[in-house]
């Protein structure tokens, strides 16, 4: 009844529940909560409304940006970006599929830049690099690449799907074990 890729996607969505639980009461809790909820809801939406699946992911990418409010230094900048992305989400909801993918990729690029900003800010303040921040950036880059390959119609097949899904599941395991406040994978740049 269910295809193997569907089962892999479902198992992957289960993996993302644990980072949300582990990161409860941290600055990234809402980010991980959106990740935990987006895949199960996405599977349901894809099953029921095949044509709206990409519009759904544009909406959830908007929620990812919204979940990172605590990292914006300016409330005005946060509201401006959110408003632009909300209008973009509404505008592309019934656009061609590639336009929706581009919109989703733009939102993930903004999330990646927020994480890069967090990483660089931490390095500037402490002269140390947290592996946690690097893995956040890597996760977002993996999503951006996945979307880019879809837009460019790169035929990588199921092998690429399985590889990226396993990579993202390993990232979920990492975030299930560690929080941003943990000092694991800490690189002191003064001693390098």
Q: Would you call 94 exposed, middle or buried from its count of C-beta atoms within 10 A (0-12, 13-18, 19+)?
A: exposed
Q: pLDDT tier at 173 (50, 70, 90 boundaries)?
A: very high
Higher-pLDDT residue of 49 and 172 is 172
Taken in order 77, 60, 33, 19, the sign of the CA dihedral is: negative
> pLDDT tens digits, residue range 107-142?
999 999 999 999 999 999 999 999 999 999 999 999
111 vs 25: CA distance, rounded Å? 20
> pLDDT tens digits, residue range 74-109?
889 888 988 998 898 888 877 888 888 899 899 999
DSSP 68: T
pLDDT of 22 above 70 = yes
**Sequence-distant contacts of 97-101: CB under 8 A, at least 24 apart:** 97/54, 98/151, 100/54, 100/55, 100/57, 100/58, 101/54, 101/147, 101/150, 101/151
> What is the rounded average pLDDT of the residues 61-80?
88
The answer for residues whose C-beta is within 8 angstroms of residue 7's C-beta and 6 or more apart is: none
The answer for residues whose C-beta is within 8 angstroms of residue 53's C-beta and 6 or more apart is: 42, 45, 46
3-state secondary structure of 183: coil
pLDDT of residue 46: 74
Quote the tokens at residue 10.
């479902």
Quote the tokens at residue 55.
């519009």
Q: Would you call 61 exposed, middle or buried from its count of C-beta atoms within 10 A (0-12, 13-18, 19+)?
A: buried
pLDDT of residue 120: 96
Quote the tokens at residue 54.
């990409």
pLDDT of residue 52: 63
* pTM for the whole structure: 0.88
> pLDDT tens digits, residue range 24-51?
999 999 999 999 998 888 778 777 776 6
Q: Where are the domains of the chain?
A: 4-191
Residue of 86, 28, 33 whose CA lies nearest to 62: 86
């Amino acid at each position: 009844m269910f295809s193997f890729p569907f089962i892999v996607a479902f198992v992957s969505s289960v993996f993302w529940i644990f980072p949300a639980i582990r990161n409860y009461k941290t600055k990234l809790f809402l980010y991980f909560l959106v990740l935990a909820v987006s895949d199960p809801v996405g599977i349901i939406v894809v099953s029921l409304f095949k044509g709206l699946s990409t519009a759904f992911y544009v909406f959830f990418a908007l929620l990812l940006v919204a979940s990172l409010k605590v990292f914006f230094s300016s409330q005005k900048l946060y509201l401006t970006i959110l408003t632009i992305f909300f209008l973009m989400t509404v505008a592309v909801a019934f656009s061609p599929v590639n336009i929706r993918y581009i919109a989703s990729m733009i939102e993930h690029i903004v999330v990646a830049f927020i994480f890069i900003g967090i990483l660089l800010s931490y390095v500037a303040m402490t002269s140390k690099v947290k592996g946690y921040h690097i893995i956040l950036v890597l996760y977002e880059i993996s999503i951006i690449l996945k979307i880019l390959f879809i837009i460019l119609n790169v035929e990588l097949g199921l092998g690429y799907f399985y590889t990226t899904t396993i990579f993202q599941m390993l990232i979920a395991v990492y975030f299930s074990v560690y929080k941003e406040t943990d000092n694991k994978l800490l690189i002191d740049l003064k001693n390098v």
